[in-house]
Amino acid sequence: MSINFTSRQKKGLFLSFLVSLLAMGLILYFTFSQETYESLQRVQPHYLFLAFLTVVAAWFLEGLRLHLIIKGVEREGAPGIPGLLDCVKIFLSSFFFAGITPMALGEWPSLLYYFHRQGVSLGTTTTLLIIRNILTKSFFLVTGLILFALYQGRVEGGLAMNYFFRLALLLLILSSPLYLVVLLYPRRVIAFFGFLKSLPFLRKVADSPSLRDFFLGLRREGEQFQDSLARLGRGRKRKLMLPALLTLGYWFTYFLVPPLIMAGLGLEFQYWNLLIWQILIILIMVYAPLPGGSGFVEISLATFFSPHVPSHLLGIFVVAWRFFTYYLFLLVGGFLVASPFPFWLYPGEKK
């Protein structure tokens, strides 16, 4: 049966659409002109069709990554391993819940729910999510370091852009190793928390419920990661090599969308600059308080791309980028979630 949305989920969906549409409407209002009409008549639609195919390819790359991680975690011949198409549907369904909740908080619970309905144990699904998270964080860490070295901490776009680029990469570089240390040594988290409580000037802060819950959450995630490594076993860790490559494939495919849009609009571009700006936008989406980064993403797109996209096409570019990389995911995911045909989403589920 289809899923009935809670009032909070409906509010999240409404807020996401409202703020995003308002932001895009304002950008279009200030950038639309007669030149926009003339430029739209020269649009090359085959590039936009290629952007659509690229998005679909990214869906299947992510579905294949999920499928292969589960195969690597589960014992040989274990029943209940979802197929490729099932994993694609689950990914898109979870994207919908990620897109309507602040900081994508709805993604993990929805993945646990859908995989469990497919017959995957909660332990295996938790292992899958931890490994997937590690692969994604590692990708952004390595890519960030490479970009920082190649560009020596400088990008086009002015002083503010350079400052934001360095700050974002610095936070990424500092937080990723810290996250790995927490995962590898979860018991040290509690020891560190106890040390903070022993310091008189930090005792009140360390005793706060929010900080205590934060450290306890880190410890739980670290212990789950340790369990994940144990479930993989020494001989099966090599099976994560292909999912690691698929992580590269997914993100670089995702990052191909703006170049294709710009090519369709007849604009020149430098791919590496587009890559840097997209990484910054992804970082903004992660920490934006509104669902799907609504408002923040549109304004960031307009700011980052304004030096290289003519003003009369800037609004069109922002709308096209947002459609292919967010709304298309959200619409297909929402259709799967609300579909009245459970056998279509869960063909192996018993009725």
Structure-model confidence comparison of residues 5 and 57, the more confident one: 57
- Res 251 pLDDT > 90: yes
Place of tokens 């936009």: 48
Structure-model confidence comparison of residues 144 and 263, the more confident one: 263
Give pLDDT tens digits for 268-277. 888 877 887 7
Tell me the average pLDDT of the chain: 78
As a whole number, mean pLDDT of residues 117-135 equals: 82
User: Is the CA virtual torsion 220, 59, 96, 82 positive or negative?
Assistant: negative
- pLDDT band with cut points at 50, 70 and 90 for residue 150: confident
Pair 65, 240: CB distance under 8 Å: no
- Res 224 pLDDT > 70: no
For the chain, helix (H) and strand (E) counts, in that order, are: 17, 0
Q: Give me the phi and psi of 259, to 5 degrees please.
A: -60, -40
Q: What is the pLDDT of residue 99?
A: 84
DSSP for 290-316 reads SGGGTTHHHHHHHHHHTTTS-HHHHHH
Cβ-based burial of 160 (10 A; exposed 0-12, middle 13-18, buried ≥19): exposed
Q: What is the pLDDT of residue 228?
A: 61
Pair 288, 15: CB distance under 8 Å: no
Residue boundaries of the structural domains of the chain = 12-345
As a whole number, mean pLDDT of residues 216-244 equals: 68
- Res 146 pLDDT > 60: yes
Give pLDDT tens digits for 19-67. 888 989 999 998 999 999 888 888 999 999 999 999 999 999 999 999 9
Pair 156, 307: CB distance under 8 Å: yes
Percent of the chain's residues with pLDDT above 90: 26
CB count in 10 Å sphere of residue 142:
12
Q: What is the pLDDT of residue 351?
A: 43
- Res 94 pLDDT > 60: yes
Percent of the chain's residues with pLDDT above 70: 69
CA–CA dist 48, 43 (Å, integer): 9
Q: Residue 255: name the closest of 276, 283, 285, 284 by CA.
A: 276
As a whole number, mean pLDDT of residues 224-242 equals: 67
- pLDDT band with cut points at 50, 70 and 90 for residue 16: confident
Contacts of residue 26, defined as CB under 8 A and 6 or more positions apart, other chains included, come to none
Give pLDDT tens digits for 173-200. 777 777 677 666 666 766 776 676 676 7
Q: Residue 223: name the closest of 193, 189, 191 by CA.
A: 189
Pair 79, 58: CB distance under 8 Å: no
- pLDDT band with cut points at 50, 70 and 90 for residue 343: very low
Give pLDDT tens digits for 316-327. 999 999 999 999
**pTM given for the model:** 0.81
